[in-house]
Structure 1
Amino acid sequence: MSKVGVMVMGPAGVGKTTFCNSIMSYMESQGRTANLVNLDPAATAQEYAFTIDIRDLISLEDVEEELKLGPNGGLIYCFEFLLKNLDWLDEQIGDYPDDYLIFDCPGQIELYSHIPAMPMVVKHIQQQLNFNLCCTYLIEAPFVVDRAKFFSGALEAMSTMIFMELPHVNILSKMDLIKDTMSKREIRKFLCPDPMLLEDDEIHDDQKDLMLSNPKFRKLNKAIAQLVDDFGMVQFLPLDCSEKDQNESVRTIVATIDNITQWDENQEPKEPHDEEEEEDDEE
């Protein structure tokens, strides 16, 4: 059996916990086993209970109260504490060696961009616990429709891809919030974007004066577009958690994760009589 883990990352409020619950629901509907692992010291369980919860080791609320730290400093302290107590994580995950683990991560961008705590946790799970890991990075679809914000999100995703050194799936969440037809048509440009074409698109009226008065801003846009284009890594899968389209988008994302982590290839083959027994049980 393969050991597969999905690290669900992204800014605060982007829909990571909703996405985790959507994967759990999809797995359940497909007869597959999955466990939800909470790595966010400030999170609370919603639709599905956490199988493993970092708050059993340390919680942000306790850190803020005892050490008088703010949310950002508190989260960093929590992860530094986790790094000193990785044997706790080993013991917890040791009970689920063959299952599909979904890691709900905190929304502090620093953990994915320049503080080494999260990459160290990831390397430990890979090297010491022998898990095939995949990173999913969520960005809100309504956010990236604005081109300036798209480049911001693209750089954010690219920075995480490089820093985490994991196979990576970028996801546009909250697609169900894109209501009007023009915006739905517009968002397709961002699923498999050509940054150079996006950079050359028509400038919004409220940005024209800024562009004309400050040519350096235009040059900066071109430089960022060229950087994203040179790396050629930033593509997105849509995530629609509305009741009608949820299964389709989640199915596509899970299939992509399965391919990346080689989940199918590592499954133990079933004997013909085992499959017949399963069919009889279903009847």
Structure 2
Amino acid sequence: MPFGQVVIGPPGSGKTTYCNGIQQFLNATGRKVSVINLDPANDFLPYNCAVNIAELITLEEAMKELELGPNGAMVYCMEFLEKNFDWLEEKLKSLRDDYLLFDFPGQVELFTHYDSVKNIIERLTKTNFRLVTVHLVDAHHCTDPAKYISVLLLSLKTMLQIEIPHINVLSKIDLMESYGKLAYNLEFYTEVQDLSYLLDHLDEDPFTKRYKDLNKALCELIEDFGLVGFQTLCIQDKKSVWNLIQAIDKANGYVFGGLTQGNESIMQAAMRAELFYNVSDVQERWLDHRDVWDSWETTHQQETSGVPPINKTPL
């Protein structure tokens, strides 16, 4: 039974870099990995590509022949792939013993409003592919409350649209502080805790303050579903990758059915990753540069008041 990941996310979230890094990482652990490029606009592929949609259609061809803009041409390319699914199915026959990474385009409308990608993934699952969606979003969006709410809505709508096991990932966690400071500890953003705390920060912005009732309604909508949470990732850090791989293997069932002779990477992921994923370790390594007194003070504040501790690192 073939296992794999559907790698999606907005432009710039690091999908291609992720596929390249994960392919090298898992190959090094003994797991045979093949990458399937389904992005017709991806001209530069840093990874070894087993199947490339460019053999079927490219974005440039669609734009030129149909006189479409880039967004319309991308939608057409996905619809064309759906209609020619037999081409993809034939290409995948020789890879059914591999662990597959499907590198999809970054146009978010494809995963929130159109059915082509959803139908392609559905047909893959019907042919016994055990897939999990890995949805990458840039971690720096957490530094802006309005952008963070937008990311939550995007993640929620994508989860509801695609309807397969889903892992949301804050990528480039090591670069987060270069864009600004977090209002609260990282766990607040990964666990998607009480979003009412963000409303005060949204009211500080003259633009978002005008939509106070809408902001409150959106936060309540996300909380009512209770589906969105995030893993963190620094693709250059082995420990970070191991923890994410462990979560993905559980989500698509690989941890239960992917162990075969000569493929012991599943056990390595289980043994080397943290038994319990601890976001505070991630914050301490990549974000937290406060002294001991500030660390104690924020912990004491949380325990006594129940309010998420404010990250008081100077701007």
Equivalent residue, structure 2, for 1:222? 216
CA distance in 1, matches of 2:143, 2:201: 13
Per-residue deviation at 1:258? 0.6
- Distance in 2 (alpha carbons) for counterparts of 1:38 and 1:46: 8
Counterpart contact for 1:174–1:240, Cα < 8 Å = yes
1:3 equivalenced with 2:32 (yes/no): no
Q: Which amino acid aligns with 2:72?
A: G
Distance apart, 1:228 and its partner CA: 0.8
Cα deviation, residue 176, structure 1: 1.9
Residues 177-211 of structure 1: CA distance to partner in whole angstroms, max 9, x if unpaired? 12369549644421112143433454574x15863
* Number of the residue aligned with 2:161: 163
Q: 1:66 to 1:26 in 2, by over 3 A?
A: same
Q: Does the 8 Å CA contact 1:178/1:184 hold for their aligned counterparts?
A: no
Change in 2 beyond 3 A, CA 1:203/1:62: closer
Match of 2:143 in 1: 145
Task: Kindly provide the CA deviation profile for residues 38-96 of structure 1, in whole angstroms up to 9, marking residues without a partner as x.
Answer: 01001134331211111111111111122221111111111111112111011000111
Whichever residue aligns with residue 56 of structure 2, its letter is: L
Structure 2 partner of 1:278: none
- 2:295 corresponding residue in structure 1: none
Helix, strand or coil: the match of 1:234?
A: coil
| Structure-2 change in CA distance of 1:185 and 1:199 (3 Å) | closer
1:26–1:251 contact (8 Å) kept in structure 2: no
1:239 corresponds to: 233
Structure 1: distance between partners of 2:202 and 2:77: 43
What residue in structure 2 maps to residue 112 of structure 1?
A: 111
Hey, what's the Cα distance between the residues in 2 that align with 1:184 and 1:223?
21
Higher relative CO (Cα under 8 Å, sequence separation at least 6) belongs to: 1
Of residues 128, 131, 136, the one that matches 2:129 is 131
From the superposition, tell whether residues 203 and 185 of structure 1 become closer, same or farther in structure 2 (CA, over 3 Å): closer
SS of aligned partner of 2:256? coil
Deviations 1:10-61 (A, max 9, x none): 1111111111112112102211111000010011343312111111111111
Rounded to whole Å, the distance in 1 between the matches of 2:220 and 2:200 is 14
Task: Give TM-score, length-normalised by structure 1.
Answer: 0.86
Mapped to 2, the partners of 1:131 and 1:184 lie a distance apart of 41
Correspondences of 1:1-283 after superposition (within 5 Å): 2-127=1-126, 129-179=127-177, 182-183=181-182, 186-203=185-202, 205=204, 207=205, 211=209, 214=210, 217-241=211-235, 243=236, 246-267=237-258, 270=261
**Aligned partner letter, 1:46:** L
Aligned residues: 263
d(CA) in 1 for partners of 2:219 and 2:101?
33
Give RMSD over aligned pairs: 2.3
- For the Cα contact (< 8 Å) 1:141–1:172, is it kept in 2? yes
**Retained in 2: the 8 A contact 1:145–1:186?**
no
Q: Which amino acid aligns with 2:150?
A: S
* Closer/same/farther in 2, CA of residues 4 and 198 from structure 1, 3 Å limit: farther
CA distance in 1, matches of 2:207, 2:57: 50
